[in-house]
Amino acid sequence: MSYQRPLMPKSTAVWLIENTALTFRQIAKFCDIHELEVQAIADQKSYSGIIGISPIRNGQLSQAQIDKCSKEPTLDLIMEREYIIGSLEKRTAKKARYTPIIRRQDKPSAILWLINKFPQIDDNKIIKLIGTTRKTIESIRNKEHWNIVNIKPKDPVVLGLCSQHDLNELEKKLS
């Protein structure tokens, strides 16, 4: 499992310094900051205005783990498994993406490219991949688009409308 930084590491370090008996090394390693920086925070030489944020409330650490590491200075704090899994799920969630105005004119070219490359492709898959409307897809399929004579098929990845990974996933589903 890869290491993940805590949310707002310096605020987390401030809270750990003020509320635990952990060593500077343990705090530095968990927060992914230098040990001298942790010492400067503790001496209030730097980051004096930062308000501490509890890693327990955020679900990054458990009180039991902090107590265990406080008693044994050689142990390292480890991010809670549920926090890591939750943040990975948030990252993979799809959301509506904004297409700049300059790239919107490229969508018909990408639609034509997808229709030519994958004749059996469903409209919903095109809508999800490049974020267009069903009406635009139908008008291009039926050669009724207002600008059909000027539309040249172009790869949507090259146009920046989708990622190569997304296009490869679509290709796997269609084959």
Per-residue model confidence as pLDDT tens digits over 4-22: 778 788 999 999 999 999 9
- pLDDT tens, 26-80? 999 999 899 999 999 999 887 778 888 899 888 889 999 999 999 999 999 988 8
What is the pTM (predicted TM-score) of this model? 0.49
pLDDT at site 14: 93
Gyration radius of the chain over CA positions: 26
Whether 158 and 86 map to the same domain: the answer is no
The proportion of the chain whose per-residue pLDDT surpasses 90, expressed as a percent, equals 56
Domain boundary among 61, 92, 123: 92
Whether 38 and 111 map to the same domain: the answer is no
Q: What is the mean pLDDT of the chain?
A: 87
Tell me if 1 is assigned to some domain. Answer: no
Whether 108 and 134 map to the same domain: the answer is yes
Tell me if 23 is assigned to some domain. Answer: yes
pLDDT at 1 over 50: no
Whether 118 and 155 map to the same domain: the answer is yes
Domain boundary among 62, 92, 122: 92
- 22: amino acid identity, one letter: L
Whether 82 and 110 map to the same domain: the answer is no
Whether 150 and 79 map to the same domain: the answer is no
Tell me if 20 is assigned to some domain. Answer: yes
CB-facing half-sphere around the CA of 96: CA atoms within 13 A: 3
Q: Which domain holds residue 105?
A: 101-174
Domain boundary among 64, 92, 120: 92
Tell me how far apart the alpha carbons of residues 17 and 52 are, in angstroms, rounded to a whole number: 9
Do 164 and 175 meet the contact criterion of CB atoms below 8 Å apart? no
3, 60, 61, 76, 116 from 10: Cα distances, Å = 17, 14, 15, 17, 52
Tell me how far apart the alpha carbons of residues 167 and 155 are, in angstroms, rounded to a whole number: 10
Whether 88 and 19 map to the same domain: the answer is yes
If we measure between CA atoms, which residue out of 24, 5, 9 comes closest to residue 79?
5
pLDDT at site 86: 54
For the chain, what is the domain count? Answer: 2
| Structural tokens at position 172 | 């796997």
CB atoms within 10 A of CB 145: 19
